[in-house]
Structures are given as structure tokens and as C-alpha cells.
Amino acid sequence: MHRTACEKVPCSIAAVKGPPITVTCDCGVIQRIPYGEACTCPSCGRRWDTAQIPVEEYEGVMRDMRRYRVQAMVLGSSIGLGVVALAVLTDRPLFPLALIAMAGWWLVYMPQWRRKVRARVRNLPTWKLRSR
Ligand SMILES: [Zn+2]
């Protein structure tokens, strides 16, 4: 009996663990498996184990993703701090300025940031797994 364990993993867990590994079976079936999980091909029954991927290589990808998140957070808080600092230092109403800063952040920086992250995920290295 062949069971596809990977299909029962909730998406939220996969998201926490990082991007799933795309496994292309010898028979052509493509499955997305969270790192560290094993999965049986629903078509031919070959077993694929993503734990065969060296942890350092997968960690390298995770590190890049974390770095991107930190960059976005640092810039976001700098804008927030800048607005607060200006509000403290000047008496002028700063609402328009804060609005412009936040709009620039959401409309200019975040789309670029999302593109960069997506590009990194697309460029995941490919690993050759052995079926069992
Ligand atoms: Zn297969």
C-alpha cells in the first residue's frame, strides 16, 4: 500500500520550516515536500527522503531568507523611528510626512523585496535524491 505522507502536512508547518523541496520523481510526478520529510510517489511507489539533502546547504537558503526579513525589518523600523524623531524634534504636524514614508515603504520597497525573495526561492539549488 502506497501512502503519500507529504500531502497530509499542513501548509502552515511547511511555511515555518521554510520553502518545500520540489521532488521530481523518475516517473515524472512532481511533489513538494517540506525539508526533512519523506514521501512516497503516488504513481510508482518510489520513496523520496528530503533528509538526504545536506543540512548546511538547506540552511544556507534559510539564512538568506532570514537576512532578507531582517533587512526589511531594519528599514521599516528606521522609517518609523525617523518619523518619531522628527515628531519629537519639530512642532509641525507630521502626519503627511509619515503617510508619505509609509506609502513609499509599501509601494516601492516591499514589492522589490518580495521580488527578491521570490527570485531567491526560484534559485534554490537542486539536489539529486536517491529513491528507495
Ligand atoms: Zn514516481
Give the tens place of pLDDT for each residue, 41-99: 999 999 999 888 888 888 888 888 889 999 989 988 888 888 888 878 877 777 787 88
pTM of the model: 0.56
Q: How far is the CA of 24 from the centre of ligand 1 (A)?
A: 8
| Per-residue pLDDT, 43 | 93
Q: How far is the CA of 106 from the centre of ligand 1 (A)?
A: 43
Q: How far is the CA of 124 from the centre of ligand 1 (A)?
A: 22
In-domain check, residue 116: yes
User: CA triplet 33, 9, 44: central angle to 5 degrees?
Assistant: 50
Are 61 and 107 part of one and the same domain? Answer: yes
In-domain check, residue 62: yes
Q: How far is the CA of 22 from the centre of ligand 1 (A)?
A: 13
| Per-residue pLDDT, 122 | 76
Are 109 and 63 part of one and the same domain? Answer: yes
Q: Which range marks the domain in which residue 106 is found?
A: 55-122
* Rg, C-alpha atoms of the chain: 22
Determine how many CB atoms are found less than 10 A away from the CB of residue 41: 20
In-domain check, residue 21: yes
The half-sphere exposure of 53 on its side-chain side, counting CA atoms within 13 A, is 25
Q: Which residues neighbour 48 within 8 Å (Cβ) at sequence distance 6 or greater?
A: 23, 25, 31, 33, 38, 39, 40, 41, 129, 131
Tell me what the pLDDT averaged over the chain comes to.
Answer: 80
Read off the pLDDT of each residue in 26-44 and give the average, rounded to a whole number: 89
Tell me how many domains the chain contains.
Answer: 2
Are 71 and 114 part of one and the same domain? Answer: yes
User: Is the pLDDT reported for residue 11 higher than 50?
Assistant: no
Q: How far is the CA of 89 from the centre of ligand 1 (A)?
A: 65
Model confidence at 10, pLDDT cuts 50, 70, 90, reads very low
